[in-house]
């Protein structure tokens, strides 16, 4: 792992893509994982934060919460035809409350590479990294 938190990266998975967020808290790692998700489709820096969408999820454990969070974003992207470039999340007692900021997808400007079908339980992990205590939130997404 190369980047210094908060940051995100992709990891290799045969046909699909692994998304990984790193942060000082689980919530920050979730925000970064969401950026990694957007980056599967387009450069997150090219997405303007023009509209806010509220997202809430609940799960009995952090790993399931990560899958639910990414799938909620996949759903909002698909049904609103939007891309998101900025995220603010709060996690308390298995509940995630977040805002995703973005704009309607512009095929020319965003040049989307591929659609994300859903988040999977493959290579799923939400844990602290030993060397610096940073939180990692990751899984493979199907494209």
Only one residue has tokens 């659609």, namely: 115
Out of 107, 130, 131, 133, the residue judged to bind another protein by CB under 8 A: 107
In angstroms, rounded to a whole number, what is the distance separating the alpha carbons of residues 83 and 1? 26
Q: Say whether residue 113 binds another protein (CB under 8 A).
A: yes
Q: With contacts defined by CB under 8 A, how many residues of the chain interact with another protein?
A: 34
Q: Which residues contact 88 (CB under 8 A, 6 or more apart)?
A: 31, 98, 99
Q: Say whether residue 29 binds another protein (CB under 8 A).
A: no
Cis peptide before 6 (omega within 30 of 0): yes
Q: Say whether residue 127 binds another protein (CB under 8 A).
A: no
Q: Could you say which residues in the range 7-26 bind another protein, by CB under 8 A?
A: 10, 12-17
Q: Say whether residue 112 binds another protein (CB under 8 A).
A: yes
Q: Which residues contact 21 (CB under 8 A, 6 or more apart)?
A: 6, 7, 8, 28, 29, 30, 31, 32, 33, 34, 35, 36, 136, 137, 138
Query: What is the closest distance, in whole angstroms, from the C-beta atom of residue 31 to another protein in the complex?
Result: 21
**47 DSSP assignment:** S
Out of 22, 33, 91, 119, the residue judged to bind another protein by CB under 8 A: 119
Binding stretches for another protein (CB under 8 A): 10, 12-17, 41, 64, 67-68, 71, 74-75, 78-79, 81, 105, 107, 111-115, 117-122, 124, 140, 142-143
């Amino acid at each position: 792992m190369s980047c210094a938190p908060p940051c995100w990266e992709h990891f290799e998975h045969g046909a699909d893509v692994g998304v990984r967020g790193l942060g000082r808290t689980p919530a920050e790692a979730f925000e970064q994982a969401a950026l990694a998700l957007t980056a599967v489709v387009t450069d997150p820096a090219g997405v303007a934060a023009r509209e806010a969408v509220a997202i809430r999820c609940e799960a009995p454990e952090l790993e399931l919460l990560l899958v639910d969070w990414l799938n909620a974003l996949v759903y909002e992207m698909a049904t609103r035809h939007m891309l998101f470039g900025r995220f603010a999340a709060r996690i308390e007692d298995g509940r995630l409350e977040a805002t995703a900021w973005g704009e309607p997808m512009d095929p020319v400007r965003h040049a989307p590479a591929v659609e994300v079908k859903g988040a999977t339980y493959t290579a799923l992990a939400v844990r602290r990294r030993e060397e610096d205590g940073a939180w990692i939130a990751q899984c493979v997404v199907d494209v």
